[in-house]
Structure 1
Amino acid sequence: MGRRIDYHEDPNAPAANSVRPSAGAFVRRGDEVLLIRRSDNGNWSMPGGGHDPGESLSHTAIRETAEETGISIRLTGIVGIFTDPTHLIHYTSNDEVRQEFSVIYRAEAIDGEPTTSSESTSVEWVPVDKIPALTMDPSQRMRIDWALSNTEPHFDPEPR
Protein backbone atom coordinates (compact mmCIF):
# COMPACT_ATOMS: atom_id res chain seq x y z
CA MET A 1 0.00 0.00 0.00
CA GLY A 2 1.23 3.47 -0.83
CA ARG A 3 1.13 6.54 1.30
CA ARG A 4 -1.14 9.58 1.26
CA ILE A 5 0.55 12.96 1.47
CA ASP A 6 -1.54 16.11 1.90
CA TYR A 7 -0.27 19.50 0.74
CA HIS A 8 -1.84 22.81 1.77
CA GLU A 9 -0.93 26.03 -0.05
CA ASP A 10 2.49 24.51 -0.77
CA PRO A 11 4.27 25.98 -3.83
CA ASN A 12 6.49 22.85 -3.94
CA ALA A 13 3.54 20.45 -4.13
CA PRO A 14 3.22 18.34 -7.26
CA ALA A 15 0.66 19.56 -9.80
CA ALA A 16 -2.84 18.11 -9.60
CA ASN A 17 -3.55 15.46 -12.24
CA SER A 18 -7.09 14.51 -11.15
CA VAL A 19 -10.27 15.65 -9.46
CA ARG A 20 -12.36 12.84 -8.01
CA PRO A 21 -15.44 13.48 -5.92
CA SER A 22 -15.35 11.90 -2.48
CA ALA A 23 -17.82 11.65 0.36
CA GLY A 24 -17.40 11.33 4.10
CA ALA A 25 -19.59 11.03 7.16
CA PHE A 26 -19.64 13.03 10.37
CA VAL A 27 -21.28 10.49 12.68
CA ARG A 28 -22.08 11.80 16.15
CA ARG A 29 -23.40 9.76 19.06
CA GLY A 30 -24.10 12.00 22.03
CA ASP A 31 -20.77 13.60 22.94
CA GLU A 32 -18.71 11.24 20.73
CA VAL A 33 -17.71 11.25 17.05
CA LEU A 34 -16.89 8.16 14.98
CA LEU A 35 -13.28 8.46 13.75
CA ILE A 36 -10.74 6.21 12.10
CA ARG A 37 -6.98 6.20 12.19
CA ARG A 38 -5.96 5.97 8.52
CA SER A 39 -3.61 3.16 7.53
CA ASP A 40 -2.03 5.23 4.72
CA ASN A 41 -0.73 8.11 6.83
CA GLY A 42 -1.54 7.40 10.50
CA ASN A 43 -3.80 10.45 10.83
CA TRP A 44 -7.24 10.45 12.43
CA SER A 45 -10.14 11.18 10.11
CA MET A 46 -13.84 10.87 9.56
CA PRO A 47 -14.65 7.81 7.43
CA GLY A 48 -14.95 8.49 3.73
CA GLY A 49 -13.52 7.89 0.29
CA GLY A 50 -13.78 8.16 -3.46
CA HIS A 51 -17.01 8.12 -5.42
CA ASP A 52 -17.41 5.03 -7.63
CA PRO A 53 -19.26 4.86 -10.97
CA GLY A 54 -22.82 3.63 -10.64
CA GLU A 55 -23.51 4.98 -7.16
CA SER A 56 -24.87 8.22 -5.76
CA LEU A 57 -22.55 10.35 -3.66
CA SER A 58 -24.82 9.64 -0.67
CA HIS A 59 -24.26 5.93 -1.20
CA THR A 60 -20.50 6.58 -1.30
CA ALA A 61 -20.61 8.03 2.23
CA ILE A 62 -22.69 5.11 3.51
CA ARG A 63 -20.52 2.46 1.78
CA GLU A 64 -17.20 3.98 2.80
CA THR A 65 -18.30 4.31 6.43
CA ALA A 66 -19.39 0.67 6.56
CA GLU A 67 -16.19 -0.53 4.84
CA GLU A 68 -13.84 1.50 7.04
CA THR A 69 -15.62 1.24 10.40
CA GLY A 70 -18.11 -1.65 10.48
CA ILE A 71 -20.85 0.88 11.32
CA SER A 72 -24.02 1.23 9.24
CA ILE A 73 -25.31 4.79 9.05
CA ARG A 74 -28.32 6.84 8.03
CA LEU A 75 -27.64 10.23 6.49
CA THR A 76 -29.36 13.15 8.22
CA GLY A 77 -27.95 16.26 6.53
CA ILE A 78 -24.91 17.91 5.01
CA VAL A 79 -21.93 19.34 6.86
CA GLY A 80 -20.62 20.95 3.70
CA ILE A 81 -18.84 20.90 0.38
CA PHE A 82 -15.05 21.24 0.48
CA THR A 83 -13.20 21.96 -2.79
CA ASP A 84 -10.11 23.97 -1.84
CA PRO A 85 -7.86 23.99 -4.95
CA THR A 86 -4.82 24.67 -2.73
CA HIS A 87 -5.31 21.34 -0.93
CA LEU A 88 -3.68 18.56 -2.96
CA ILE A 89 -3.57 14.88 -2.03
CA HIS A 90 -0.72 12.76 -3.40
CA TYR A 91 -1.31 9.00 -3.49
CA THR A 92 2.14 7.45 -3.89
CA SER A 93 0.82 4.01 -4.95
CA ASN A 94 -0.20 5.34 -8.38
CA ASP A 95 1.25 8.88 -8.34
CA GLU A 96 -2.21 10.42 -8.48
CA VAL A 97 -2.27 14.02 -7.23
CA ARG A 98 -5.88 14.87 -6.53
CA GLN A 99 -7.42 18.27 -5.95
CA GLU A 100 -9.70 18.19 -2.93
CA PHE A 101 -13.39 17.64 -3.72
CA SER A 102 -15.33 16.31 -0.73
CA VAL A 103 -18.92 16.36 0.41
CA ILE A 104 -19.31 15.61 4.12
CA TYR A 105 -22.69 14.35 5.32
CA ARG A 106 -24.14 14.36 8.82
CA ALA A 107 -25.17 10.88 9.85
CA GLU A 108 -26.31 8.72 12.71
CA ALA A 109 -25.22 5.17 13.47
CA ILE A 110 -27.94 2.56 13.05
CA ASP A 111 -26.04 -0.72 13.52
CA GLY A 112 -22.66 -2.33 13.91
CA GLU A 113 -19.59 -2.30 16.10
CA PRO A 114 -16.34 -0.43 15.42
CA THR A 115 -14.20 -2.75 13.28
CA THR A 116 -10.93 -1.95 11.53
CA SER A 117 -10.26 -2.56 7.83
CA SER A 118 -7.34 -2.36 5.43
CA GLU A 119 -7.94 1.40 5.39
CA SER A 120 -8.16 1.90 9.16
CA THR A 121 -5.82 0.81 11.94
CA SER A 122 -8.21 2.02 14.63
CA VAL A 123 -11.93 2.82 14.76
CA GLU A 124 -13.24 4.63 17.83
CA TRP A 125 -16.08 6.66 19.21
CA VAL A 126 -13.96 9.62 20.33
CA PRO A 127 -15.23 12.06 22.97
CA VAL A 128 -15.49 15.56 21.47
CA ASP A 129 -13.14 16.99 24.11
CA LYS A 130 -10.39 14.49 23.09
CA ILE A 131 -10.47 15.37 19.37
CA PRO A 132 -8.13 18.42 19.62
CA ALA A 133 -5.29 16.18 20.86
CA LEU A 134 -5.52 13.77 17.91
CA THR A 135 -3.07 13.93 15.00
CA MET A 136 -5.03 14.81 11.87
CA ASP A 137 -4.69 16.72 8.64
CA PRO A 138 -5.80 20.38 8.87
CA SER A 139 -8.59 19.71 6.35
CA GLN A 140 -10.11 17.06 8.62
CA ARG A 141 -9.80 19.28 11.68
CA MET A 142 -11.53 22.13 9.82
CA ARG A 143 -14.38 19.83 8.72
CA ILE A 144 -14.90 18.39 12.20
CA ASP A 145 -14.73 21.84 13.83
CA TRP A 146 -17.30 23.10 11.32
CA ALA A 147 -19.59 20.12 11.95
CA LEU A 148 -19.40 20.63 15.72
CA SER A 149 -20.04 24.36 15.71
CA ASN A 150 -22.30 25.12 12.75
CA THR A 151 -25.72 24.10 11.54
CA GLU A 152 -25.51 25.66 8.08
CA PRO A 153 -23.59 23.72 5.42
CA HIS A 154 -20.07 24.89 4.62
CA PHE A 155 -19.23 25.93 1.09
CA ASP A 156 -16.02 27.37 -0.27
CA PRO A 157 -16.00 31.14 -0.61
CA GLU A 158 -15.98 32.69 -4.05
CA PRO A 159 -12.50 33.34 -5.44
CA ARG A 160 -11.08 36.78 -4.77
Structure 2
Amino acid sequence: MNIVDQISLTAIHSPFTSVCDRVLSSKDPYSRSTKQGHITASGLVIQDDKVLLIFHPFIKQWFQPGGHIDDGESPIHAAIREVYEETGILCESIDGQSNLIDIDLHEIPANPKKSEGVHLHIDLLFVLRALKQEASHEKIEKAWVPFDQISSPRIQRALQKLQDQT
Protein backbone atom coordinates (compact mmCIF):
# COMPACT_ATOMS: atom_id res chain seq x y z
CA MET A 1 0.00 0.00 0.00
CA ASN A 2 1.48 3.38 -0.98
CA ILE A 3 1.67 6.40 1.34
CA VAL A 4 -1.34 8.19 -0.19
CA ASP A 5 -3.49 5.08 0.32
CA GLN A 6 -2.25 4.76 3.90
CA ILE A 7 -3.06 8.43 4.58
CA SER A 8 -6.54 8.04 3.06
CA LEU A 9 -7.18 5.00 5.24
CA THR A 10 -6.06 6.92 8.34
CA ALA A 11 -8.28 9.88 7.45
CA ILE A 12 -11.47 7.83 7.05
CA HIS A 13 -12.15 7.81 10.81
CA SER A 14 -10.90 11.31 11.45
CA PRO A 15 -12.60 14.70 11.81
CA PHE A 16 -10.16 15.91 9.14
CA THR A 17 -11.36 13.64 6.30
CA SER A 18 -12.49 16.39 3.93
CA VAL A 19 -9.42 18.58 4.51
CA CYS A 20 -7.16 15.57 4.08
CA ASP A 21 -8.87 14.72 0.79
CA ARG A 22 -8.31 18.31 -0.44
CA VAL A 23 -4.62 18.18 0.55
CA LEU A 24 -4.07 14.82 -1.16
CA SER A 25 -5.80 16.00 -4.35
CA SER A 26 -3.87 19.29 -4.43
CA LYS A 27 -1.14 20.07 -6.95
CA ASP A 28 1.57 19.50 -4.32
CA PRO A 29 0.46 17.92 -1.03
CA TYR A 30 4.00 18.28 0.38
CA SER A 31 4.25 22.03 -0.19
CA ARG A 32 3.70 24.69 2.46
CA SER A 33 1.93 26.64 -0.29
CA THR A 34 -0.95 24.16 0.03
CA LYS A 35 -2.65 26.39 2.60
CA GLN A 36 -5.29 23.97 3.87
CA GLY A 37 -2.50 21.62 4.94
CA HIS A 38 0.41 19.48 3.81
CA ILE A 39 2.26 16.23 4.39
CA THR A 40 5.13 16.50 6.88
CA ALA A 41 7.68 14.02 8.22
CA SER A 42 9.12 13.29 11.64
CA GLY A 43 11.58 10.88 13.21
CA LEU A 44 11.07 8.49 16.08
CA VAL A 45 14.65 8.12 17.28
CA ILE A 46 15.05 5.33 19.82
CA GLN A 47 18.16 4.56 21.84
CA ASP A 48 18.55 2.54 25.04
CA ASP A 49 14.77 2.34 25.66
CA LYS A 50 14.48 6.12 25.31
CA VAL A 51 12.90 8.36 22.68
CA LEU A 52 14.40 11.62 21.45
CA LEU A 53 11.96 14.51 21.96
CA ILE A 54 12.14 18.25 21.38
CA PHE A 55 10.26 21.04 23.14
CA HIS A 56 8.39 22.74 20.31
CA PRO A 57 9.11 26.48 20.61
CA PHE A 58 5.71 27.59 19.22
CA ILE A 59 3.29 24.91 20.44
CA LYS A 60 5.08 24.60 23.82
CA GLN A 61 4.88 20.80 24.06
CA TRP A 62 7.28 17.88 23.78
CA PHE A 63 7.20 16.13 20.37
CA GLN A 64 9.37 13.98 18.17
CA PRO A 65 11.54 16.13 15.85
CA GLY A 66 10.12 16.75 12.40
CA GLY A 67 8.84 19.27 9.95
CA HIS A 68 8.17 20.21 6.36
CA ILE A 69 9.33 18.23 3.35
CA ASP A 70 11.49 20.24 0.96
CA ASP A 71 10.84 20.30 -2.77
CA GLY A 72 12.12 17.08 -4.36
CA GLU A 73 12.87 15.47 -0.99
CA SER A 74 11.47 12.09 0.05
CA PRO A 75 9.58 11.93 3.36
CA ILE A 76 12.20 9.65 4.98
CA HIS A 77 15.01 12.02 4.00
CA ALA A 78 13.00 14.97 5.33
CA ALA A 79 12.60 13.17 8.67
CA ILE A 80 16.36 12.49 8.85
CA ARG A 81 17.16 16.12 7.91
CA GLU A 82 14.67 17.58 10.39
CA VAL A 83 16.00 15.45 13.27
CA TYR A 84 19.52 16.63 12.44
CA GLU A 85 18.58 20.31 12.08
CA GLU A 86 16.55 20.37 15.31
CA THR A 87 18.82 18.23 17.50
CA GLY A 88 22.23 17.85 15.85
CA ILE A 89 21.78 14.08 15.90
CA LEU A 90 22.65 12.41 12.61
CA CYS A 91 20.38 9.44 11.93
CA GLU A 92 19.67 6.76 9.40
CA SER A 93 16.71 4.57 8.63
CA ILE A 94 16.86 1.16 10.21
CA ASP A 95 18.12 -1.55 7.85
CA GLY A 96 17.91 0.93 4.96
CA GLN A 97 14.09 0.68 4.92
CA SER A 98 11.59 3.51 5.02
CA ASN A 99 10.14 2.27 8.37
CA LEU A 100 6.92 4.31 8.32
CA ILE A 101 5.45 3.46 11.71
CA ASP A 102 2.58 5.93 12.06
CA ILE A 103 0.49 8.58 10.32
CA ASP A 104 -1.05 11.34 12.37
CA LEU A 105 -3.48 14.07 11.30
CA HIS A 106 -3.38 17.15 13.49
CA GLU A 107 -4.38 20.76 13.23
CA ILE A 108 -1.68 23.40 13.51
CA PRO A 109 -2.77 26.67 15.13
CA ALA A 110 -2.45 29.95 13.26
CA ASN A 111 0.99 31.55 13.49
CA PRO A 112 0.83 35.27 12.70
CA LYS A 113 4.66 35.53 12.81
CA LYS A 114 4.81 33.21 9.78
CA SER A 115 1.61 34.59 8.22
CA GLU A 116 0.09 31.11 8.47
CA GLY A 117 -3.52 30.34 9.21
CA VAL A 118 -4.82 27.22 10.92
CA HIS A 119 -3.94 24.23 8.74
CA LEU A 120 -3.64 20.44 8.78
CA HIS A 121 -0.41 18.47 9.09
CA ILE A 122 -0.48 14.93 7.79
CA ASP A 123 2.62 13.71 9.58
CA LEU A 124 4.51 10.59 8.55
CA LEU A 125 6.53 9.12 11.44
CA PHE A 126 9.65 7.11 10.60
CA VAL A 127 11.74 4.97 12.95
CA LEU A 128 15.35 6.15 12.90
CA ARG A 129 18.64 5.10 14.48
CA ALA A 130 21.03 7.70 15.93
CA LEU A 131 24.53 7.58 14.48
CA LYS A 132 26.32 10.52 16.10
CA GLN A 133 25.77 13.82 17.87
CA GLU A 134 26.92 17.09 16.30
CA ALA A 135 26.15 20.73 17.03
CA SER A 136 22.50 21.57 16.45
CA HIS A 137 21.56 24.14 13.79
CA GLU A 138 18.59 25.30 15.85
CA LYS A 139 18.32 26.29 19.50
CA ILE A 140 15.63 23.80 20.50
CA GLU A 141 15.56 21.99 23.83
CA LYS A 142 15.87 18.22 23.45
CA ALA A 143 15.75 15.25 25.80
CA TRP A 144 16.00 11.46 25.74
CA VAL A 145 12.82 10.34 27.49
CA PRO A 146 12.38 6.79 28.86
CA PHE A 147 9.52 4.81 27.32
CA ASP A 148 7.59 4.73 30.61
CA GLN A 149 7.63 8.55 30.81
CA ILE A 150 6.20 9.18 27.33
CA SER A 151 2.92 11.06 27.65
CA SER A 152 2.19 11.58 23.95
CA PRO A 153 -0.59 9.23 22.80
CA ARG A 154 0.88 9.26 19.30
CA ILE A 155 4.36 8.18 20.43
CA GLN A 156 2.83 5.58 22.77
CA ARG A 157 0.85 4.26 19.77
CA ALA A 158 4.02 4.07 17.65
CA LEU A 159 5.97 2.31 20.40
CA GLN A 160 3.13 -0.22 20.75
CA LYS A 161 3.22 -0.86 16.98
CA LEU A 162 6.97 -1.47 17.22
CA GLN A 163 6.49 -3.86 20.13
CA ASP A 164 3.75 -5.70 18.20
CA GLN A 165 6.13 -6.17 15.27
CA THR A 166 8.68 -8.04 17.41
Q: Which residue of 2 aligns with 1:37?
A: 55
Per-residue CA deviations over 1:4-35 (Å, capped at 9, x if unaligned) read: xxxx96xxxxxx94221100001110211101
Describe the SS at the equivalent of 2:76: helix
Q: Is 1:101 aligned with 2:101?
A: no
The structure where helix makes up a greater share of residues is 2
Distance 1:48 1:18, change over 3 A: same
The structure where strand makes up a greater share of residues is 1
Q: Which residue of 2 aligns with 1:145?
A: 156
* Matching of residues 127-146 of structure 1 within 5 Å: 127-132=146-151, 141-146=152-157
* Matching of residues 52-131 of structure 1 within 5 Å: 52-76=70-94, 77-82=99-104, 84=105, 87-92=106-111, 93=113, 94-112=115-133, 115=136, 117-118=138-139, 120=140, 122-131=141-150
Per-residue CA deviations over 1:91-149 (Å, capped at 9, x if unaligned) read: 3121332212110001110111584724x2x11111122223xxxxxxxx232011211
Q: Which residue of 2 aligns with 1:158?
A: none
Alignment partners' CA distance in 2, 1:146 and 1:114: 30
Describe the SS at the equivalent of 1:101: strand
RMSD, aligned α-carbons: 2.6
Alignment partners' CA distance in 2, 1:50 and 1:61: 9
Alignment partners' CA distance in 2, 1:116 and 1:58: 19
Distance 1:124 1:115, change over 3 A: farther
Check conservation: 2:47, 2:129, Cα contact below 8 A.
yes
Describe the SS at the equivalent of 1:145: helix
Segments of 4+ in structure 1 off by > 3 A?
A: 113-116
- The higher-RCO structure (CA 8 Å, 6+ apart) is 1
Per-residue CA deviations over 1:72-107 (Å, capped at 9, x if unaligned) read: 11112121222x3xx321231213322121100011
Describe the SS at the equivalent of 1:26: strand
